[in-house]
Amino acid sequence: MQMSMNSELPEILPPLREGVVLQKGGMDFNNSPTWVVQDLLNNRFFHLGWREHEILRFWQNISPDELINTVKSNSLAQVSADDITQILKFLSQNCLIEQSFSTMKSINEAQTPKKMNWFLWLAKNYLFFRIPLVKPNRFLNAIYPYMRFALGKGFALSMMLLGIIAIIFTLRQWDQFTHTFFALFSIQYIILYGIALILAKSCHELGHALMCKKYALNVPTMGVAFLVMFPMLYTDTGESWKINDPKERVTIALAGVITETYIAIFALCAWLLMPEGAIKSICFFLATYSLMTTYIINISPFLRFDGYHVLSDVLSMRNLQTRAFALTKWKLREVLFGLNMPAPEQFSQTRQRILITYAVLTWIYRFVLFLGIAIMVYYLFFKALGIILFVIEIVYFILHPIYRELKVWWSMKSNISLNKNTFIFSVIILILIGLFFIPWQSQISLPATLSYQTKPLYTEIAARVISVNVKKGESVKKGQLLAQLKSDQLDFQIAQANEKLKQLIWQQRNSVHFQTKLDQQQVLQTQINHTNTQLNQLLKQQDKLVFTAPFDGVVESLSEDLHPDAWLKAKQALMLIVNNKTLQLRAYTTADDQDQLKLNQKGYFVPENIDLAKIPVEIRYIVSSHSSVFKSQNENKANLSYIHEAAPLSAYHASNFGGSIAVNPDKEGKLTPQENVFLILLTLSSPLPYELPHVVRGKVFIDIERKSLAARLWQQVLILWVKESGF
């Protein structure tokens, strides 16, 4: 083989640098051996495949031709000059071979960004970076003989038994446990919780480190890592690759979680024994919140914490994410373009499905996580910095990976031809573009109710019926007396207030004769004003016990409890007045749709009852302020046969009564919409073609100007920009 085959290769290959060794790295998932290049000086590890190992095994200060011939003579590996070139680039870029100072300097300059100040460095690296603090080997070697007992199966079984006993005793005091005082209002408690949390997380990392010592591994560094500026302790367990048994590697990965579980068990036992106070509260914190956060963060395999390493060892796959991502990208390209290219690695169908599923779930998890982090940093920092960090987060961690994959697709354009896959993909893309950019939506639908003018009457307070002046079905005129109630308690309160007011006025009038001081006169005047206010409120309540017709109409329903001398409770429904000559059509809209609605816009109302025909309508009035609270139907459930008919119209749209507007009910029965809704009043454009059965729920469809989804989205972006751009 002539050297002219590859001009990038030197005549003589440089030898491996001192401190670079080639070692066995255990078995891969298919029981094939793996190797590792270890850089002892920099504590770095590089995993190799079989072909790369065969090349490095015979790597000496010889020519490339001699190396190729040596490998072919002593191995079954098929090696070419291109393979030698790739290996040489890898060794050179990672400074694993002997090189001149100028060469190493040029490599370092190529890999180091030019003159980046601290702010730009922080902007690119604020998501995650590490700061090593200690080299713990000497300390670990000193304490390991005393801590060896805690790493065995016997201690684990003892802790399991202790945990079961503690849980049994805790269940006997479950109410007390769930109501344990967890104080965060005091700075002293916050400091104590912080110290307890730091100690628990330190023990977590110590668990990893001691488990490494159990298998005679070095722990080069321990320190603190920052995840979006949030500090987290870490332990470098990189040498775990030296262990061939995946189960033993799993024990190293799980050692931290197991250690915190032990701490939680001890804390739970202490909680059972301790009296009320700060120590008991801290024990509760360690047994619950601290342990929960550990499980939630560390068990997830989608970030490179303990759960990821456990899954990697269970599957016996080094570089799990890298290999799963590469396989999934290949599968995606095959599905979209039908390239018939070889997979980056050969896996069984079952393992391939597992890896692809894992990669897709990881992408979804990261997308949600990074988007959440972007929103968090936007609100966490002051607005100017928040916007910058938000943009960096979105660009670097969401858009940039998509851009890189699109670049790969573009580079493969010569291999893409029209086939079944590309045809289906093109059709889907065209459909999505059409849905996004073509203004196909010409209507919006709003939840609505059509009814006669109605007015349900309720008692404000508990009272006794004095007289009932109407019957069910009777016609009434506006202002006509319907019923009169009396509250003895209210009358007593009014009498008390009157008597108190008389006494205060008498004291004020005679204050001159008794030479009352000025400040005492001012106090008297304040008391008079306060008593007057109370009396007026009581008189208003008394007036509400006299019920008159709010408009001309008919007594549609009457409570069975409404008869003389009957006692009624507060908020009890009495009767329903209906004016069947006046129709009310009310609809509700969100802020997004409100901007598209205008006065006199036309549409039609479609009842939920399919037996009723649709009715043409027109917008008469748009309420500018939002309807923040709906009334609840619960007020209508007092011995009435018209529970649904008498319900306040707005309650018909509440989600917990079968409506389409999501609401949050409170203790008082009020229903608060989860997002702002606005009231729209409409009129019928033609006479009602049927007799209205009280309240009819349905949808109002309003004709609007056609606007594409892209235009609407852009409009929302502009609104958000204007809203958030004020500093």
Residue predicted with more confidence, 141 or 90: 141
Whole-number pLDDT of residue 127: 67
DSSP 217-275: -----EEEEEETTEEEEEE--GGGGG---HHHHHHHHHHHHHHHHHHHHHHHHHHHHSP
Checking 50-59 for CB contacts under 8 A at 24+ apart, the result is 50/77, 51/77, 51/78, 51/79, 51/83, 52/87, 53/22, 54/79, 55/79, 55/83, 55/84, 55/87, 56/16, 56/22, 56/87, 57/22, 59/13, 59/15, 59/16, 59/87
- Please tell me the least confidently modeled range out of 383-387, 391-395, 694-698: 383-387
Do both 397 and 472 map to the same domain? no
Residue predicted with more confidence, 663 or 106: 663
Do both 151 and 292 map to the same domain? yes
Do both 372 and 468 map to the same domain? no
Whole-number pLDDT of residue 637: 39
Q: How far apart are CA 722 and CA 34, in angstroms?
A: 57
> What integer is the mean pLDDT of 357-383?
84
Residue among 196, 6, 145, 21 nearest 89 (CA): 6
Residue predicted with more confidence, 300 or 181: 300
Name residue, tokens 């009495």: 574
Name residue, tokens 């393992």: 351
Look at strands 443-458 and 696-703 and give their pairing: antiparallel
Phi (first) and psi of residue 56, to 5 degrees: -70, -25
> What integer is the mean pLDDT of 412-417?
82
Alpha-carbon torsion (597, 599, 600, 605), positive or negative: positive
Q: How far is CA 59 from the centre of its chain?
A: 52
Taking only the tens place, the pLDDT of each residue in 468-507 is 999 888 999 999 999 999 998 888 988 998 998 888 888 8
- Specify burial of residue 271 (Cβ count, 10 A radius: 0-12, 13-18, 19+): buried
Residue among 546, 572, 724 nearest 640 (CA): 572
State how far the alpha carbon of 109 is from the alpha carbons of 87, 90, 105, 317, 607, in Å: 21, 16, 6, 34, 73
**Total count of domains within the chain:** 4
- Which residues face 136 on adjacent strands? none
Taking only the tens place, the pLDDT of each residue in 438-468 is 877 677 888 888 888 778 888 888 899 999 9
User: Average pLDDT, whole number, for the chain?
Assistant: 81
Do both 334 and 265 map to the same domain? no
End-of-domain residue from the set 112, 129, 156: 112
Do both 180 and 71 map to the same domain? no
Q: Is residue 634 part of a domain?
A: yes
Q: How far apart are CA 43 and CA 19, in angstroms?
A: 10
Q: Is residue 698 part of a domain?
A: yes
Cα angle at 508 between 506 and 512, to 5 degrees?
Answer: 110
CB-based contacts of 271: which residues, under 8 Å, 6+ apart?
170, 177, 180, 280, 283, 284, 287
Compute how many other C-beta atoms are within 10 angstroms of the C-beta atom of residue 68. Answer: 20
Residue among 573, 562, 550 nearest 454 (CA): 550
Whole-number pLDDT of residue 516: 54
Whole-number pLDDT of residue 121: 58
Whole-number pLDDT of residue 20: 82
Buried b (16+ CB within 10 A) or exposed e, 193-230: beebbeebbebbbbbbbbbbbbeebbbbbbbeeeeeee
- Specify burial of residue 494 (Cβ count, 10 A radius: 0-12, 13-18, 19+): middle
Q: Is residue 175 part of a domain?
A: yes
95: left (phi over 0), alpha (psi -120 to 50) or beta: left
Do both 308 and 192 map to the same domain? yes
CB-based contacts of 563: which residues, under 8 Å, 6+ apart?
465, 468
Q: What confidence category does residue 388 fall into, taking pLDDT thresholds of 50, 70 and 90? A: confident
DSSP 378-391: HHHS-HHHHHHHHH
425: left (phi over 0), alpha (psi -120 to 50) or beta: alpha
Q: What confidence category does residue 186 fall into, taking pLDDT thresholds of 50, 70 and 90? A: low
Whole-number pLDDT of residue 149: 92
Do both 96 and 31 map to the same domain? yes
Q: How far apart are CA 99 and CA 105, in angstroms?
A: 10
Domain hosting 95: range is 3-112
End-of-domain residue from the set 293, 316, 339: 316
Q: Is residue 514 part of a domain?
A: no
Do both 130 and 50 map to the same domain? no
Whole-number pLDDT of residue 412: 85
Q: Is residue 438 part of a domain?
A: no
Q: How far apart are CA 410 and CA 652, in angstroms?
A: 54
Cα angle at 325 between 252 and 433, to 5 degrees?
Answer: 145
pLDDT at 59 over 80: yes
Do both 272 and 360 map to the same domain? no
Q: How far apart are CA 451 and CA 693, in angstroms?
A: 8
pLDDT at 344 over 80: yes
> What integer is the mean pLDDT of 346-375?
89
Q: How far apart are CA 144 and CA 698, in angstroms?
A: 74
Do both 147 and 284 map to the same domain? yes
Q: Is residue 535 part of a domain?
A: no
Alpha-carbon torsion (60, 63, 64, 66), positive or negative: negative
Residue predicted with more confidence, 636 or 623: 623
For residue 439, what are its two tokens? 């203004």
Residue predicted with more confidence, 615 or 45: 615
Residue predicted with more confidence, 613 or 519: 613
Task: Answer for the pair 148, 214: CB distance below 8 angstroms, yes or no.
Answer: yes
pLDDT at 234 over 80: yes
> Which range, 239-248, 479-488, 662-671, 695-704, has the best average confidence (pLDDT)?
479-488
pLDDT at 65 over 90: no
Q: Is residue 292 part of a domain?
A: yes
- Please tell me the least confidently modeled range out of 255-269, 385-399, 402-416, 512-526: 512-526
Do both 647 and 618 map to the same domain? yes
Q: Give the DSSP letter of residue 10.
A: -
Q: What confidence category does residue 235 fall into, taking pLDDT thresholds of 50, 70 and 90? A: very high
- Please tell me the least confidently modeled range out of 122-131, 162-171, 559-568, 598-607: 122-131
Taking only the tens place, the pLDDT of each residue in 595-615 is 777 788 888 898 888 878 888
For residue 585, what are its two tokens? 């059509």
Checking 298-304 for CB contacts under 8 A at 24+ apart, the result is 298/256, 298/257, 299/257, 300/365, 301/358, 301/362, 302/361, 302/362, 302/365, 302/366, 302/369, 303/365, 303/369
Residue among 320, 377, 373 nearest 351 (CA): 320
> Which range, 3-17, 256-270, 340-354, has the best average confidence (pLDDT)?
256-270
Residue predicted with more confidence, 115 or 320: 320
Residue among 629, 577, 607 nearest 449 (CA): 607
Q: What confidence category does residue 5 fall into, taking pLDDT thresholds of 50, 70 and 90? A: very low
Q: Would you report the helix, strand and coil content of the chain in percent, each value rounded to 5?
A: 50, 20, 30
pLDDT at 222 over 90: yes
End-of-domain residue from the set 284, 316, 348: 316
Q: What confidence category does residue 102 fall into, taking pLDDT thresholds of 50, 70 and 90? A: low
Q: Give the DSSP letter of residue 307.
A: H
Do both 455 and 588 map to the same domain? yes
- Per the document, the length of the chain is 727
Q: How far apart are CA 554 and CA 582, in angstroms?
A: 12
Q: Is residue 521 part of a domain?
A: no
Taking only the tens place, the pLDDT of each residue in 635-684 is 443 333 333 333 344 567 777 676 777 777 766 667 777 677 778 888 88
Residue predicted with more confidence, 623 or 587: 587
- Compute the half-sphere exposure of residue 92: CA atoms within 13 Å on the CB side of its CA: 21
Taking only the tens place, the pLDDT of each residue in 540-560 is 888 889 999 988 888 888 888
pLDDT at 336 over 90: no
